[in-house]
Amino acid sequence: MLGATARIEAVRRAEVVQQWADGVLVGACLHFGTLQVRNMATVGGNIAHALPAADLVPALLVLDAQLELARATPAGDCVRRNVPLDGFATGPFTTVLQPGELVTAVQVPARTRTWRAQFRKIGRVVKDLAQVNCAVALQVEKQRVLSARLAVGAVHPTVTRVPAAEAELVGGEIRGADWSARVGRAVDAVRSFIRPISDMRATREWRRHVCGVLLCRSLEWVADPHRAGHVPRYEDGQSYRVGVQGSGDG
């Protein structure tokens, strides 16, 4: 459970977050603006803003996050409700929030703790908003994918999961004979699902292409049995990959 007013930097430093699902949330926090911004920005703010390029949201989507909302009635009572993060944003800067309603907390289910997951982002510079970001999470047992989550940001009116692409991966054998074919079909499904725009950061064609590339790389990373399990860091100032120090993978 993350409180809505938790600062991004505090989340990044929390041990439980670093251990959770390959530290996918830490990866998102690491790419979240400058230290100053991470000390000011909050989890609830990043979600409620409903920016299509929000960095925390893909990571929270692949962790099946639920939101706790609250609003005060004229009589002074507090009305709470829970909604899935998936579907909370209805478009750029619009959400299902009622007038006067606040995001008060984010709940991440305990079962996602052991999932393999990764967040990736590419921007003009590290501190800028994402040109494209994505997160993937796989639940794997005996090399078999039991469930899959793919979420992409900055390529669609909202940060979004792509269930059709997830379905291509479920049941597959990690690095089995048809694994790369499955990954290819998943990427195709994402590319045909998303509706990216062209703006000062990137063109829609570039976004559509790079989105697939990032997903491929993340899927390769999570499928790698030898991937290092520690918290992802920047490799260098020029790199946007949440790779692992010294691994040099791409």
Interface with other proteins (CB under 8 A): 7, 9, 33-37, 39-40, 126-127, 233-237
**Which distant-in-sequence residues (6+ apart) come within 8 Å of 226 by Cβ?**
none
Q: Collect all residues with Cβ–Cβ distance below 8 Å to 167 and sequence separation of at least 6.
A: 148
Quick one: 6 or 85, whose CB is closer to other proteins?
6
* Comparison of 237 and 248: residue with beta carbon closer to other proteins: 237
Smallest distance from other proteins to CB 181, Å: 37
Name the token pair of 86: 């998936």
Least distance in angstroms from the C-beta of 237 to other proteins: 5
Residue 204 CB, shortest distance to other proteins, in Å, is: 25
The Cα–Cα gap between 109 and 97 comes to 22
- Residue 246 CB, nearest distance to other proteins (Å)? 12
Sign of the torsion formed by the C-alpha atoms of 37, 38, 44 and 46: positive
CA distance 19 to 169: 24
The span from the CA of 236 to the CA of 179, in Å, is: 31
